[in-house]
Structure 1
């Protein structure tokens, strides 16, 4: 399990060590980690360390101090080291060490474009507000010190002037803001430097499943399985306008390993599903979980089937057109929280859903959710009393109690029509087959499998969602093989 923490959590973990007078030791470990990371990057991109030019834009605080101490170490390796003082001052001891090692301060108007690498060390994890970059982003490799300056370390929100880093070297623990929102895109490759905070860190703010975690959650084949004990999933998907949604949902479920799929759909849609997947069964019957909503549009019969599934008391994944039906059912029945239910909106759908539940209050816009997906997914899970899987470049899975998983296995080619239908099928299959795992864990597992499948499919170039099922099957097989 890969944990991530808010900036506040990390600073709180540092506090007892600072009170014991270990501040200089913490800074020395951070600076050494940054120095080694920059040296590795130079070796990788330039083929050498000695004789290269590394510059840094440094602020007045400890973040700038880390960079100056790192520059001093690089200068002793034969690197030409230059510092730009963003605010005309810097950490005194670090500035002195930098000067003793032969570092030079940039003159006004000096360009950083000719440096082999530039360290971004203006601001650290405590920043919030509007960031004004003291220097344009250079045409050079950028290595962020702890976080890209101006990035909110808790939420991943960032203004337009925050520099995109090629590498972020973060200290003590991974920060939540580096894995969600714009932070994921701005951070580049992230390296975590251990500075000794482990015993003082609390429970993480967010977690990410890694392959071993995903393999443990995946239902293991048992010799006593039959098609019913292996899991039966009911699917309410498709309509005259969107017949393919049912085909893709069923394909995702079967590829994920469910024992049987029962399909509720208009006759023409059902015929298409059975033609593509003759192992599926048309019509109602006993199921262990439901996957509902993809492509049902305004079909009245499908919405009645949706309402029936919501009232079944079984685990349900609700997607796409079903989200509005779920909200209407909630308003009509006043039903309480149901943690067995997983809602799977993208940012636009979540904005619409929260708008329908706002009761005249202020609702977010799509852009708000895209800027701070962690905040809005967590808030939506609490408001709705269900698990929420917020789709995006980094998928955020939030439970009503605040537990959050963030999965970033996906590939840009997954941004294709029908990809979300396949994810709904995968998650429905897991809800029907897995036992003992929480819905938020299964949501994270579904996102892991879906994202891994997206990468596997991309090995052959661009693809449509119809090609994902084979890759889902391969992703599951790889997890089972270990």
Structure 2
């Protein structure tokens, strides 16, 4: 199975000049055997260049940068047939082993001007025909923006206030930001000397950050070309990296970005130029970034809509600003791990019991998916009740207790005190009589303080009267259409503001579904998860999410955190599945892998 592919090109003339100016590099880059083989030629440049290309291609195949391993730990050798192959030792070998790489294929070639190496990393076939590729990771990598704790998110207006409150002069903040951009650029490039960078700079502080970074890069041997964003050509000059410092998070209007040259990387400063910093929308063409570095805190435009899609790898640089006033945060894996309690040694099933009231004729799958997800997330006991009786097989671990077809609220309320959480609404239907039963149960659960997830048809039943039935122990989980039924208006471009407004109006926790999931509390606190992707756009995954949140509530997790943590678990479980053909049941099957990995992140 191919686990990675790396390709690298080396300009022979440039490489020859570098070696002539810095002959000590030969010993630094190449092993004794490699040096001995190359120096048999009167001009060893071609042999040195293809070997250097091979070393860089190996690092690319493993997805790591220069510095992850010593150059001598990646050696080009020749087998008994004279065919070039690779020998890895030390840190390089350890990295390969961690990634399940068991072998390599290498091809070397050159012309009069270019040397090239192509590397293929091979490993055992690792896939489950039922679940998806085993090579997928349950959690984001530790350095990912959502791999750690909570990351503050502030609006452009809030960021301006934070800037103004800083004791340092703006020139010092620009200097710090420019340093962070320069370091990010060098990391992307895998080095500085001889690299070519185009800096696209506007007239504001975003452009000032870019200009500061440009001067730092020049000092380290980078060939820098400065281009004024207002006068940019249609196609940017050939380069290894474009630094997009044209316009920042306060940009309004429309701007068509120039075209980046083929094969180059793009680093956005603060946000890809042209993206609205408040809501992530864009008007015009945007330079899609391979990475975006922002300062002190994320902005909503980094994590919403087109902004998330165009930002590439997100990073926040600490430049000494105080962001403790932020009321919105991005959810990371370590934060979720800290929220989920460990099971006590004397735990029993009734300490985390969930009652799922769901399903109807033709919609029995909703009850099955919801209850299955609750069990897999850690509910000790799951009861499933369907008015009129379940019309589909339920998970064997669930306890089936049928309800009468009509006037079933009384039976639910009679036994509700035994449960730690209630999930209601999935697949129940929207007949008037059913709506009335749902409203009775939700109102009583609220009055008794039973944490409750209301989803799907339950949301339709509550409608714009939602505030009469719910409280801060209730989690509402609408998609855009259901949001409109609750709020009397569809969500707009500022999804954070809209979710927060509905939470305040209703008094409940509101989870607004989408590519980025926004979870808001009545006190104004907001948590955002970017864990999910388009794989979850399939029938039944919403039922799975409701069951996950119900289980977290039953385990004692605070409702805001249960909703946000549930969205994170849901997204990461989906990310373990096939990129095409994922079904809701696959997400349930992957939940234990995500939960198990989270245990290693607990403080």
The reply to whether residue 351 of structure 1 matches residue 484 of structure 2 is yes
Q: 2:363 aligns with which of 225, 242, 258?
A: 242
1:7–1:154: 8 Å Cα contact kept in structure 2?
yes
Structure 2 counterpart of 1:94? none
When Rg is computed on C-alpha atoms for both structures, the one with the higher figure is 2
Q: 1:209 aligns with which of 313, 316, 331?
A: 331
> Deviation per CA, 1:230-272, whole angstroms, max 9, x where unpaired?
2222212122232211110000111111122222214552552
Change (3 A) 1:191 1:212: closer
Structure 1 counterpart of 2:459? 323
The reply to whether residue 71 of structure 1 matches residue 184 of structure 2 is no
Q: 1:450 aligns with which of 561, 566, 570?
A: 570
1:251–1:277: 8 Å Cα contact kept in structure 2?
no
Q: 2:378 aligns with which of 257, 260, 277?
A: 257
2:278–2:494: 8 Å Cα contact kept in structure 1?
no
The reply to whether residue 141 of structure 1 matches residue 265 of structure 2 is yes
2:423–2:454: 8 Å Cα contact kept in structure 1?
yes
The reply to whether residue 463 of structure 1 matches residue 582 of structure 2 is yes
The reply to whether residue 477 of structure 1 matches residue 596 of structure 2 is yes
When the two structures are superposed, what TM-score results if normalisation uses the length of structure 1?
0.83
Change (3 A) 1:13 1:27: same
Change (3 A) 1:116 1:7: same
2:257–2:287: 8 Å Cα contact kept in structure 1?
no
Q: Distance in 2 between the 1:227 and 1:269 partners?
A: 23
> Deviation per CA, 1:348-396, whole angstroms, max 9, x where unpaired?
32234323xxxxxxx33xxx54x33212211221222211111122111
Q: Which ranges of structure 2 fall in alignment gaps of 5 or more residues? A: 1-149, 403-411
2:369–2:585: 8 Å Cα contact kept in structure 1?
yes
* RMSD over equivalenced CA pairs, Å: 2.5
Structure 1 counterpart of 2:249? 125
- Secondary structure of the equivalent of 1:29? helix
Once the two structures are TM-superposed, the CA of residue 78 in structure 1 deviates from its matched residue by 2.9
Change (3 A) 1:164 1:379: farther
Once the two structures are TM-superposed, the CA of residue 212 in structure 1 deviates from its matched residue by 2.8
2:235–2:258: 8 Å Cα contact kept in structure 1?
no
Change (3 A) 1:380 1:148: same
Change (3 A) 1:33 1:243: same
- Secondary structure of the equivalent of 2:576? helix
1:309–1:316: 8 Å Cα contact kept in structure 2?
no
Once the two structures are TM-superposed, the CA of residue 470 in structure 1 deviates from its matched residue by 2.1
- Secondary structure of the equivalent of 2:574? helix
Which of structures 1 and 2 has the larger relative contact order (alpha carbons within 8 angstroms, sep 6+)? 1
1:270–1:282: 8 Å Cα contact kept in structure 2?
no
Structure 2 counterpart of 1:34? 181
Output aligned runs, 1:51-450, within 5 Å.
Answer: 51-87=194-230, 109=233, 111-112=235-236, 114-127=238-251, 129-133=252-256, 135-136=258-259, 139=262, 140-197=264-321, 200-228=322-350, 230-267=351-388, 269=390, 272-273=393-394, 276-283=395-402, 284=412, 285-286=415-416, 287-298=419-430, 302-312=434-444, 313=446, 314-327=450-463, 330=466, 335=468, 338-355=471-488, 363-364=489-490, 369=492, 371-434=493-556, 437-450=557-570
Once the two structures are TM-superposed, the CA of residue 466 in structure 1 deviates from its matched residue by 1.3
Q: Distance in 2 between the 1:308 and 1:249 partners?
A: 21
1:157–1:372: 8 Å Cα contact kept in structure 2?
no
Once the two structures are TM-superposed, the CA of residue 110 in structure 1 deviates from its matched residue by 6.8
> Deviation per CA, 1:127-154, whole angstroms, max 9, x where unpaired?
2x32223534654422111112232323
1:63–1:122: 8 Å Cα contact kept in structure 2?
yes
When the two structures are superposed, what TM-score results if normalisation uses the length of structure 2?
0.67
Change (3 A) 1:481 1:34: closer
Structure 1 counterpart of 2:17? none
- Secondary structure of the equivalent of 1:207? strand
2:425–2:454: 8 Å Cα contact kept in structure 1?
yes
Once the two structures are TM-superposed, the CA of residue 56 in structure 1 deviates from its matched residue by 2.1
Q: Which ranges of structure 1 fall in alignment gaps of 5 or more residues? A: 89-107, 356-362
1:155–1:375: 8 Å Cα contact kept in structure 2?
no
- Secondary structure of the equivalent of 1:272? coil
